[in-house]
Amino acid sequence: MDASELDKLVEWLTDGARSAKTSAALLEQTCERLVAAGVPLYRVGAFVTTPHPDLFGRAFIWRRGSEVVVNTANFDLPSSPQFTQSPLILVYRSLKAARFRMDDPEIRRFPLFDDLRKEGVTDYIALPMLFTDDSVHVASWTTKEPTGFGEEHLIALRRIIGPFARLGEIFAQRRIASTLLDTYVGNSAGERILAGQIRRGHTEAMQTVIWLSDLRGFTALSDRLPAETVVEILNRYFDCQVASIKSRGGEILKYMGDGLLAVFPVDQHADDVGKVCSGVLDAAREARANVEAMQFPIGETVERFRFGVALHVGRVLYGNIGGGNRLDFTCIGPAVNLAARLEKIASRLHRTVIASHAFVEACANSWQDSWQDLGEFPIAGFTIASRVYGLRDEAGTQASQPAVQ
């Protein structure tokens, strides 16, 4: 063992491991420095659980001479044989280290060791990583040394596990903050909040395509079905739209009961606006097909669903609005108000997709023939009537009413 290299590693970790900018880099550089100090590492894993709506946790795997591989686990993992038959579970339960030599007959109860032994591993130790919130995470260390880990190697691992865990917690908390912000307020808003744009009234003007949709018959649906069933229906219904929106560069700003508000930021160049509008129209067609295909069995009947979406182009104010210490990162402005009014018109006309004149005008030429002029409509709160357009492929398939001229 090189005591001076180990001291440098501990100092580097204690000082914040400033050269490591990601969790994977922290593990990689820690392992490389341990090897330089004389610890004969082969494979190292760091396993961190995380509060995430879809993920149970993440696993970071380093092998000597290879880059760190990052895997994710869903909430089925804790009950799976992969977890219940893993040596890691001993550490989670006891909060103590678990060590196994590959020549120990006891390892037969852990399938993982069959693979490690085939790779030439001779010794394995898993150490608990305790975060300040009392949550338990684990790091495992293996070697191919014929004699396994020596006492000085184990002392080195135990010496660095504390500062390594503390930095791991910092990286994990940063990721959690970013993930939760993205989940609840969207990517763009999350980035702004993390960047410190959190003052009330901090807004910026933005040219954007606005998407505002609504599930038809939601009030009646909520009245006759259990609340838990309605929530499940809403989640499936929103799934019909979200992937289509995000794949075209859109960001979900807000869910409002059965309503969804999304924006697609655009540059000021006309070609860019047209390109974005064409992508949004593709997303609307795709979402329409998804909702039409959605079925939900309730007793002996199968529920089918319809929705409406209004598309508009305009400038909005995007930023922090609220009162006291409760703020909302959202967008406001006449363009948003107009989109909301257009969505109501879509419902009256029994249309699924309608658009403003500004949206249709901005659409690429190849898409403009897709639209049918439905006439001008007075808009509550606006002094000038707005011309409204519907998709031609919906004409005759839905009971439309005459446009108000």
Mean pLDDT by 10 residues, the chain (405 residues): 93 96 96 97 93 80 94 83 89 94 89 93 96 94 96 97 96 83 74 71 85 93 90 95 94 91 80 87 96 90 92 89 77 92 92 94 77 91 91 67 34
CA 253, 348, 242: angle at the middle one, nearest 5? 25
Distance between CA atoms of residues 241 and 307, nearest Å:
10
Look up the CATH number of domain 191-394.
Answer: 3.30.70.1230
Q: What is the pLDDT of residues 154-168, one digit of tens each?
A: 999 999 999 999 999
The structure tokens listed for 56 are 């149970």
Cα 176–chain centre separation = 11
- Per-residue pLDDT at 131: 94
Q: Which amino acid is at 324?
A: G
pTM over 0.75: no
> What pLDDT was estimated at residue 405?
27
Q: Which residues of 351-374 are buried (b: 16+ CB within 10 A; e: fewer)?
A: bbbbbbbbbbbbbeeeeeebbbeb
Q: What is the pLDDT of residue 250?
A: 93
Model pLDDT, residue 399: 42
Q: Tokens standing for 72? A: 């994710």
Residue spans of the domains in the chain: they are 3-185, 191-394
CA count, 13 A, side-chain hemisphere, 200 = 7
- What CATH number matches the domain at 3-185, 3.20.20.140, 3.30.450.80, 1.10.150.130, 1.10.8.10? 3.30.450.80
Q: Answer whether 3-185 and 191-394 agree in fold.
A: no
Other C-beta atoms lying within 10 Å of the C-beta of residue 334: 12
Distance CA 30, CA 162 (A): 13
87 phi and psi, to 5 degrees?
Answer: -65, -20
Query: Which pLDDT score is estimated for 186?
Result: 72
